[in-house]
């Protein structure tokens, strides 16, 4: 581990206090007398000059690196990390969670890849599997394309470079909603409305990790929201990542949510055309956030692919 990382800085609340709830909902054993080893870390002095934060799980050199989707944070992997029971690092993308917001609001995968590579070098230099969901998946692809030495295999969770505004419409509708809420209940109710298949308790945990209460009592999201002009056209913005996928020599696993519309049949066909060796698995009864809907199933798939 790089000596420049910072460990156990306070984030203002006990962010690991409810892991027993994650375990209970996922049907996993949890020993409160011997809880999992997990800690918050920071990596300063990234190429962009902005600090990146992460959660490290387990003892020993991390074997996997996990990147969350847009408008999420590293805690989205909590249940899956408990199920995997392997040393790993879950990184907060720039502008998300406890990572610094970028002054230029540039959260394109290619723009974030240098900072992510720097964080991996610092926190998980021996990791062999790089996994990303949604925006995190495209960022993982861009990062590995630029630094092929960072991992030996790639997992894409419900994402391909074929994502566009129509496929991502439900996600965009949620993110484009209010930035401020008068109470925790108000922000939770809106989250519930967009995630009807998830339990209230799981979403309450998610909101607690993804929002904060300001001194004036107002609740606001932790993530930075780029303007529409900076967001641009998704399909054109990610088009060159198809070539990155073609050129990548690493084994690839694509996990699709059976209830999600973000990855469609044309996307699967394009993946298989460009990478005939890619493994494609559909997780039934899972939406876009497979790690939230079916964390144990995803953990089993990733564990088998990781080897």
Question: Under 8 Å CB-to-CB from 203, ≥6 apart: which residues?
Answer: 188, 191, 192, 195
Which one of 79, 113, 134, 260 is the catalytic residue?
A: 134
Which one of 288, 289, 293, 306 is the catalytic residue?
A: 288
| CA atoms of 275 and 19, how far apart (whole Å) | 37
Which one of 78, 92, 115, 158 is the catalytic residue?
A: 158
Q: With H, G, I as helix, E, B as strand and everything else as coil, classify residue 218.
A: coil
288 is catalytic: yes
| CA atoms of 158 and 135, how far apart (whole Å) | 10
Residue among 124, 127, 122, 101 at smallest CA distance from 112: 101
134 is catalytic: yes
Half-sphere exposure of 295 (CA within 13 A, CB side): 22
Please list the alpha-helical segments (H only) found in the chain. 19-26, 78-84, 109-123, 135-146, 169-175, 184-194, 200-210, 228-231, 234-238, 240-247, 265-274, 290-293, 295-306
To 5 degrees, how large is the angle CA 110–CA 223–CA 218? Answer: 165
Residue among 279, 295, 289, 306 at smallest CA distance from 69: 289
Annotated catalytic sites, by residue? Answer: 134, 158, 288
């Amino acid at each position: 581990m790089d000596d420049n990382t910072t460990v156990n800085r306070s984030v203002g609340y006990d962010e690991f206090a409810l892991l027993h709830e994650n375990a209970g909902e996922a049907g996993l054993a949890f020993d409160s007398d011997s809880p999992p080893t997990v800690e918050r870390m920071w990596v300063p002095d990234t190429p962009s000059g902005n600090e990146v934060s992460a959660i490290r799980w387990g003892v020993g050199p991390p074997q996997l690196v996990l990147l969350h989707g847009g408008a999420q944070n590293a805690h989205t992997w909590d249940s899956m990390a408990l199920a995997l029971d392997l040393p790993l690092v879950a990184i907060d993308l720039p502008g998300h969670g406890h990572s610094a917001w970028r002054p230029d609001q540039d959260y394109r995968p290619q723009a974030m890849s240098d900072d992510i590579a720097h964080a991996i070098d610092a926190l998980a230099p021996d990791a062999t599997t790089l996994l990303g969901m949604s925006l995190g998946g495209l960022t993982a692809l861009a990062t590995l394309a630029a630094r092929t030495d960072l991992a030996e295999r790639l997992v894409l969770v419900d994402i391909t470079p074929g994502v566009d505004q129509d496929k991502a419409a439900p996600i965009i509708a949620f993110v484009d909603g209010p930035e401020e809420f008068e109470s925790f209940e108000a922000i939770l109710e809106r989250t519930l409305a967009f995630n009807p298949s998830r339990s209230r308790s799981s979403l309450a945990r998610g909101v607690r990790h993804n929002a904060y209460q300001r001194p004036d009592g107002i609740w606001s999201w932790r993530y930075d929201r780029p303007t529409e002009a900076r967001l641009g056209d998704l399909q054109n913005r990610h088009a060159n990542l198809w070539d990155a996928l073609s050129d990548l020599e690493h084994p690839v696993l694509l996990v699709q949510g059976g209830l999600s519309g973000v990855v469609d049949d044309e996307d699967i066909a394009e993946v298989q055309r460009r990478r005939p060796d890619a493994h494609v698995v559909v997780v039934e009864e899972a939406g876009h956030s497979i790690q939230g809907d079916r964390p144990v199933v995803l953990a089993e798939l990733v564990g088998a692919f990781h080897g």
